Amino acid sequence: MPVSLDNLLVVGISSRALFDLEAEEAIFRTQGLEEYRRHQLANENQILKPGAGFALVKALLKLNHLTPGRRFVEVVIMSRNSTETSLRIFNSIKHYELDITRAVLSGGAFLAPYLQAFNVSLFLSLHEDDVQAAINSGTAAALLYQKPGDTACVKEELDQIRIAFDGDAVIFSDESERIFQSEGIEAFADHERVNAMKPLPEGPFARLLRALSFIQNNFKNADGRAAPIRTALVTARSSPAHERVIRTLRAWNVAIDETFFMGGVVKSDVLAAFRPHMFFDDQPGHCDRAASRVQTGRVPVKQIGEGDESN
């Protein structure tokens, strides 16, 4: 009987996001495909070091061991590698005892067409064109930054999976963000005040947030234990724009564990205190500052009308 991924949180991650392949990427860019191929074949028994998305993937896969006979998460390696050059990746997965059995090896082709085939809920990569194509096709996706220079907050393995989100253009649509960008803070505040009772439209990460909330509730309902996932909303919004956010999450029946209405204050100190496995934001400036403190993924804006072309 075919295996269904429909009721699972499926994370698609590129090999370069899961493992540190920056030296190999440099060989590919400066010396070409054939030299890259020779390097990977010659070093296929050399274990790769963890990459930018490794800690999050490892933490999420632990969920499958908390409830016997029940799986919550599947991880799919989605790589532009060919089959021939992929053995080093699988050897590294085995070395770290990661429960990953599925892979897409596209041989240099775009990965976005295969996201829906595996019901991917979240796609993580260091290739911007793949991330943009994923967002255009309607899949939550983020371009990962390299691991933080300040590793104090990531060395310790936390008991909980911690994920932090920006609000507008990430959890929620960029409708209000566009008003702020084009008309200023006063127009934005007036718009949010007038529409306080109207739920915000869903953004690219709304589906992921719902999936995490479902898993949280499943553990809470099981035996009263604290959920192994903790979420945070870290948004530049402040009063009076806070009310619409609260009412939207209530309408979605989604609970965020911690919420920070920053009102323009830099987010990086709060994020370092929260210690997320990953922080998702759409603003390059916010991401650049956060990336030195916590693992960060930038969410690109959907390019209207380009989804079909990217696929």
| Catalytic sites, residue numbers | 166
Q: Following CA atoms 117, 119, 122, 128 in sequence, which dihedral angle do they give, to the nearest 10 degrees?
A: 10
Kindly state the helix (H) or strand (E) to which residue 83 belongs, with its residue range: none
Instruction: Strands of 45-198 (E only): list them.
Output: 73-79, 102-105, 122-125, 140-144, 161-165
Kindly state the helix (H) or strand (E) to which residue 217 belongs, with its residue range: helix 206-223
CA-closest candidate to residue 82, choices 110, 106, 114: 106
Strand order across the 102-105 sheet: 102-105, 73-79, 9-13, 122-125, 140-144, 296-298, 278-281, 161-165, 229-235, 258-261
